[in-house]
Amino acid sequence: MTAPATAHGLLSGLDEIAEIGRDTRRGGYSRHLWQPADLELRDWFAERAVRLGLDVEIDRNGNTWAWWGPRGDDAIVVGSHLDSVPGGGAYDGPLGVVSTLDAIARLQASGFRPTRPCAVLVFAEEEGSRFGIACLGSRLMTGALDADQARALIDPEGISLAAAASAVGIDPAGLGEDPAALARIGLFVELHVEQGRGLIDLDSPVAVASSILAHGRWRITFTGEGNHAGATRMADRRDPMLAAARSMLGVRDAAVASSGSRATIGRIEAVPGGTNVISSQVAVWLDARAAEDAAARDLVTEIEARVAEAAAAEGCTAVVAEESWSGAVAFDPALRDRLVRSLDGVPTLPTGAGHDAGVLSSRRPTAMIFVRNPTGVSHSPEEFATLDDCLAGVDALERVLRELL
């Protein structure tokens, strides 16, 4: 992958971080919470912010703040995240952070001074790639995720979130709802590369978000009988891999039957995971989404029924456990309209992707600005946005900040 092009120094931040956390096996980037690439990005952000005269702090949930001017309550807070999915693209998250820093640099260069507190906020573990819970930093801050439950989360290496926090100097006892941080957020704006094809159809480089689909993650564990791949007759098997395979088709069919819904199995783990071994257990992770909460719940209920049927057909059992849930989000209408007005009537657009702005919206007015994605591909090394569209995003943020500050 080539580094993103830049013009006049804008978006050069994307170039500066282009080598951090590259994943040579999957392609793209793997930047996961508190691992070396994530820490390097945090240092990069702090150094970049200090160069703009911003004052950097890390809150008790590991989210990084950079204040323009004095710290204070009721601030205009703008930001996104720097972590990625495994093998993710260059824009999901970093585009919002880099564009925010560039918009502030432009405002500073023009002599603009904010009349109320202003901060850039980089949320921790937005993708949930290490501990399995998306928007971890904002869920902890708002109390949407219980602190005890969070501390006990285990990463794929068996390290608890509490231990991982300690290892990077964050006191695990301080994790959890942070009323002081919330009080500082008067409103939150997040710029993000679009993760679908909506802006292509609207023929616009940017849009303001209207809503986020209800979405969640479920772990489905199939249990059968581990055995020898050569010595076990086909008729004698209870193979959980086959139960999982049957279920996956059921997942797709259930989503197709529910208009506008989406369901995905993107991850599978076989135990013990040997080529010449019939698995004893297979876990798959379901991501399901729909426009309304009830539709998403109905979809998962339907999937549970199909999973039970598939497991029974293979002589196996299945357990479906919810790992996370986010209700549908309608962004603050007054703030949304204010952004649309200050951007000369750009279109509004719903999104199927979850964001920290969505989690925060239950507690504070939040808004999002999307930048066109010419292929609609995201969570992939192929994710892309043109330089002109990215610059239109910086323009939009600059105008919005001028209006809000």
Q: By CB under 5 A, what part of segment 169-208 binds Zn ion?
A: none
Task: Select from 93-101, 199-207, 292-300, 391-399 the region that touches Zn ion (CB under 5 A).
Answer: 93-101
Q: Does 395 bind Zn ion (CB under 5 A)?
A: no
Distance, in Å, from the CA atom of 357 to the CA atom of 307, rounded to the nearest integer, reads 33
The CA-CA-CA angle for residues 267, 262, 251, to 5°, reads 60
> Minimal distance in Å, beta carbon 93 to Zn ion?
4
Pairing of strands 227-228, 277-278: antiparallel
Task: Select from 88-96, 133-141, 160-168, 269-277 the region that touches Zn ion (CB under 5 A).
Answer: 88-96
Distance, in Å, from the CA atom of 211 to the CA atom of 333, rounded to the nearest integer, reads 10
Q: What is the 3-state secondary structure (H, E, C) of 113-134?
A: CCCCCEEEEEECCCCCCCCCCC
Query: 13 or 93, CB closer to Zn ion?
Result: 93
Among 4, 21, 93, 354, binds Zn ion (CB under 5 A): 93
> Minimal distance in Å, beta carbon 97 to Zn ion?
10
Query: 138 or 279, CB closer to Zn ion?
Result: 138
173 token code pair: 């006892």
Q: What are phi and psi of 131, to 5 degrees?
A: -110, 5
> Minimal distance in Å, beta carbon 404 to Zn ion?
22
> Minimal distance in Å, beta carbon 126 to Zn ion?
5
Query: 107 or 329, CB closer to Zn ion?
Result: 329
Site string for Zn ion, 297-336 (x = CB under 5 A): ----------------------------------------
Query: 23 or 269, CB closer to Zn ion?
Result: 23
Q: Does 92 bind Zn ion (CB under 5 A)?
A: yes
> Minimal distance in Å, beta carbon 83 to Zn ion?
9
Q: Can you tell me which residue has the tokens 């937005």?
A: 126
Query: 282 or 390, CB closer to Zn ion?
Result: 390
CA distances from 156 to 25, 241, 321 (A): 17, 21, 18
Task: Select from 92-100, 140-148, 215-223, 281-289 the region that touches Zn ion (CB under 5 A).
Answer: 92-100
Site string for Zn ion, 38-77 (x = CB under 5 A): ----------------------------------------
Query: 311 or 369, CB closer to Zn ion?
Result: 369
Element of type H or E holding 369: strand 366-371
Task: Select from 19-27, 90-98, 144-152, 263-271 the region that touches Zn ion (CB under 5 A).
Answer: 90-98
Query: 172 or 350, CB closer to Zn ion?
Result: 350
Closest CA to 208 of 381, 7, 371: 371
Count residues near Zn ion (CB under 5 A).
2
Distance, in Å, from the CA atom of 48 to the CA atom of 225, rounded to the nearest integer, reads 54
Judged on CB neighbours under 10 Å (0-12, 13-18, 19+), 8 is exposed
Distance, in Å, from the CA atom of 151 to the CA atom of 366, rounded to the nearest integer, reads 27
Q: What are phi and psi of 38, to 5 degrees?
A: -65, -40
Query: 192 or 246, CB closer to Zn ion?
Result: 192
Q: Residue 190 pairs with which residues in a beta bridge?
A: 368
Query: 59 or 83, CB closer to Zn ion?
Result: 83
Can you list the alpha helix ranges (DSSP code H) found in 203-292? 240-257
Interacting residues with Zn ion (CB under 5 A): 92-93
